[in-house]
Structure 1
Amino acid sequence: MAEEIINKVANSVLEVFDLEDYFPKQPILSIDVSNWLVEGFLLKEKEFRESLKNHDWSQYKDALVSIYCSTDAILPAWTFALVTVYLQPFASKISSGTKNDLLLSYYQDTLNQIDFSKYNQKPLILKGCSNKPVPQEAYVLAIQKLIPFAKSIMFGEACSAVPLYKSIKKQ
């Protein structure tokens, strides 16, 4: 008779903290302001304002939106702020920079809202493999939030986790 296979991972006290569980459900979009510049480099205020006024902003409804410039144009400090004025009624979050910058800002906000005390004195795995583009910096933020509570933290998957942290036993 074959010996029964026991799933030790499923029966363990390990808790998994998966950043992918907190990945935004909204669309993640970007706006390249160079599209509204003369030859992609020169901002002429009147034309720029006219382009913004005529743009269909409703396409950004409930989206996370990053604003960036793909060229080396030297832009006035108010450029992204003016784009934000038009975006604000539609987008759920706006950030200047890359999509990665936007996701990092999103994770900062999200992780600040989590009650990490539920992980008090528990062994944790910070899940490392993800199918979504979780920024590397989000793992750095998460580990900082988890350390004050966790008994231990490993990174990866239960079958091949790398130890990262073990709390010092208090005497």
Structure 2
Amino acid sequence: MEKEIINKVANSKLEVFDLEDYFPREEIIVLDISQWLFEGFILKEKDFREALNNYNWSQYAGKGITLFCSSDAILPAWTFALVTTYLQPFAKNIVHGSIEDYLLISYKTTLDGLDYNIYMDKPLILKGCAKKPVPQEIYTLAIQKIMPFAKSIMFGEACSAVPLFKSK
């Protein structure tokens, strides 16, 4: 007589906190502003403003934008702010920096807005195997957000979790 196989994980009160669930859904575009600089290095204000004014910004509707300059140009402090004024009516989010900077800001904004009360006094797994590029810093932020609520926190998958925290 065979014994019935019981899925103890499925029957447990264990909650899974998967950071991939909060990965930005919008396409992220890297936008190099050197294309609007004279010879890629010199910002001539009149020409720069004219180039921005004539550019098709609507192509960035609903997208995430990371602004950077690939050249070693010395730029005035207002440069990226001015470009942002053209992008803002179209883009979902705009970050000065890299894709990782975009992800960090997006995750921080999302995690700051979550209601963690659903994890109150429950055992929790902070899922660790990601198919998307979840920055390591986000795991540090996430653990801080869920610790005040969870009974215990493990990292990884239910079959091979590493204990991180247990409330006293």
Corresponding residue number in structure 2 for 1:33 = 33
CA distance in 2, matches of 1:59, 1:131: 28
State the 4+ residue runs in structure 1 displaced beyond 4 angstroms: none
> What pairs up with 1:85-164 in 2 under 5 angstroms?
85-164=85-164
Corresponding residue number in structure 1 for 2:21 = 21
CA RMSD of aligned residues (A): 1.3
Structure 1 stretches lacking a partner, 5+ long: none
Counterpart residue identity of residue 92, structure 2: S
Q: When the two structures are superposed, what TM-score results if normalisation uses the length of structure 2?
A: 0.94
CA distance in 2, matches of 1:162, 1:40: 50
Deviations 1:38-91, CA, capped at 9 Å, x for gaps: 232221212211221121111110111111112222211001000000001101
CA distance in 1, matches of 2:71, 2:165: 43
Alpha-carbon distance, 1:2 to partner: 3.4
Deviations 1:113-152, CA, capped at 9 Å, x for gaps: 1110110111100111111122222111111100111111
* Most deviating of 2-11 and 22-31: 2-11
Q: How many residues align?
A: 168
Counterpart residue identity of residue 86, structure 1: Y
Structure 2 stretches lacking a partner, 5+ long: none
CA distance in 2, matches of 1:146, 1:73: 43
CA distance in 1, matches of 2:111, 2:2: 46
CA distance in 2, matches of 1:25, 1:82: 26
CA distance in 1, matches of 2:4, 2:70: 58
